[in-house]
Structure 1
């Protein structure tokens, strides 16, 4: 006897495909039997763990027999002090992706719609459709968010708007005046989620810091992560910052102990390691310039980015270029699911890793 279990799933889930992460190094080793692999696919921090975090984690392994602090008291206090907000404004999650899911659980259902941009983070449509909400995808402008078009797309049943700033995978960004003007025009009963996973890397350009806008807009939720500039992708810790009332609602659906003990310790510690953060930013700045110069010299067009990655136009079949790079031991990221079939996204690594990618790309043209 058999059963069509897919038919039992919610209608929104029936039409989804699983999220495809960047290819792990050990998977490529198994597939091609090669070593000395460079992974520039998942926007990870190339520096490795902060030395302070590494020492702290090794000293606290015995704590793993006990449940984590469900309220994340120490981490909550540290994040609140770092960003100048009240501790009650914070919701913590297993990465900021978890917090996005919590927001969807709270505010999306089959009777409402949600808005996001073309070429924006693929998790938005996954989460919206999983909740059964109607997805409104707005065409992009210059590979980024067209805020005027997003305003025009708001309908009476619209409940949430998602904006990534900087955007992944295009790296585009929005300035303070743009976001503020947008928020002023959004109806009070529409929640705007400003996803700032890459905000630490931005400097020297006009940029809308969502946390600074929270005092003006009660319906704004800002999400941040420790997976990028802070180097804790494997520990999975992120948070949202919003009004106290909004945070209280989101916390109603948060699973107990959703941020593990080591993640809490590491995130609390790394916020005090300003030297590590500044080094991460400096390495990213230098690597971005290196990749931009290298891609330009090879004649590739790329999208100017304020993240820790660059998307470039392969001028051909991107999947073929991706596979050829894999055979040379370089893992980058196809972005076909983002409706960018000719592009690949390369994460910014250490100088030698970036050069390895550029050399491999050069060899493909020979």
Structure 2
């Protein structure tokens, strides 16, 4: 099919492309070709990965051909024990983007209202649009989420 827009739902086709911050390479080229840069945008860690994470990755490389446990049983078990709750109360995913999308698709119906704080992650707006729902953005209160206003 030559024009995919003809088959995409209207509310989905109106979603604006996410514009991430500049890459570290682009920042260096533009602002400090010789200097050291600590990028704090895009939820990136200027300190790099934890040595324990690097060790765990190295130890699991030989299992890279195997599909991981998609139920995240061990992770949920450890988290549940640490938090003192049932693992059935946990939902894990590959970051907040996936979790917000999954929860929105699972629980929202077209025409319902999605409530989020202003300045929240852009995914809230995108999920509301995908689900053909109304987004209500609650202003921050002293640079914090106003939970009372969200619940009201």
Q: What TM-score results when the alignment is normalised by the length of structure 1?
A: 0.37
Cα deviation, 1:94-133, whole Å, max 9, x if unaligned, reads 1122111111011123231211222222221111112111
1:7-156 superposed matches below 5 A: 7-29=6-28, 34-38=33-37, 39-152=39-152
1:243 corresponds to: none
Post-superposition offset of 1:145:
3.4
1:154-169 superposed matches below 5 A: none
SS of 2:92's partner is strand
SS of 2:12's partner is helix
Post-superposition offset of 1:151:
4.3
> How far apart, CA to CA, are the structure 2 residues paired with 1:139 and 1:59?
46
| Distance change (3 Å), C-alpha of 1:61 and 1:7 | same
> How far apart, CA to CA, are the structure 2 residues paired with 1:31 and 1:10?
39
Post-superposition offset of 1:2:
5.2
> How far apart, CA to CA, are the structure 2 residues paired with 1:7 and 1:26?
37
Contact 1:77 1:87 in 2 (8 A): yes
1:343 corresponds to: none
In the alignment of these two chains, the number of paired residues is: 151
| Distance change (3 Å), C-alpha of 1:34 and 1:69 | same
SS of 1:75's partner is helix
Q: CA RMSD in A?
A: 2.6
Contact 1:105 1:131 in 2 (8 A): yes
Cα deviation, 1:283-303, whole Å, max 9, x if unaligned, reads xxxxxxxxxxxxxxxxxxxxx
| Distance change (3 Å), C-alpha of 1:83 and 1:135 | same
SS of 1:137's partner is strand
Post-superposition offset of 1:61:
0.6
Post-superposition offset of 1:71:
1.7
Unaligned runs of 5+ in 2: none
| Distance change (3 Å), C-alpha of 1:77 and 1:62 | same
Post-superposition offset of 1:12:
2.1
| Distance change (3 Å), C-alpha of 1:87 and 1:150 | closer
1:172-191 superposed matches below 5 A: none
Cα deviation, 1:197-252, whole Å, max 9, x if unaligned, reads xxxxxxxxxxxxxxxxxxxxxxxxxxxxxxxxxxxxxxxxxxxxxxxxxxxxxxxx
1:174-253 superposed matches below 5 A: none
Which is richer in strand?
1
